[in-house]
Amino acid sequence: MGKIPARTALVYSRNIPAVEVGQMEGMNNVIDLAHAMGINSHLDPGLSTAIGGSDVTLLEHVQGYEVFANQGQKAELNAIKSIDDGSGKTVYTHDV
């Protein structure tokens, strides 16, 4: 594919660009950023972590995608417990 934008590399799940970023930036820096963005699991400093070689929880995985969706800014995740319509009437409640 030659040179491709980071967005394209992510969309098509290209491993080589992810590994190259890990090499260029240093995996400890990548791990520090992941922790700052809400990943609290232990991440191995090897390059395999750049392509999913370390385990994270489902919530951490969602938190990671949330950062992309929020233009690189971390926001706290919230579960939807209920939905109210414009008049304040509850139209949906999730029972746990």
Which token pair is 46? 């090897």
Residues whose CB falls within 8 Å of the CB of residue 36, separated by 6 or more in sequence, listed in order? 74
Tell whether pTM > 0.85: no
Q: Rg (Cα) of the chain, in Å, rounded?
A: 18
List the domain boundaries for the chain. 1-96
Both structure tokens of 10: 């992510």
The answer to whether 66 touches 75, Cβ cutoff 8 Å, is yes
- pLDDT value, residue 78: 82
Per run of 10 residues, the mean pLDDT along the chain (length 96 residues) is 85 93 96 93 96 94 89 87 95 86
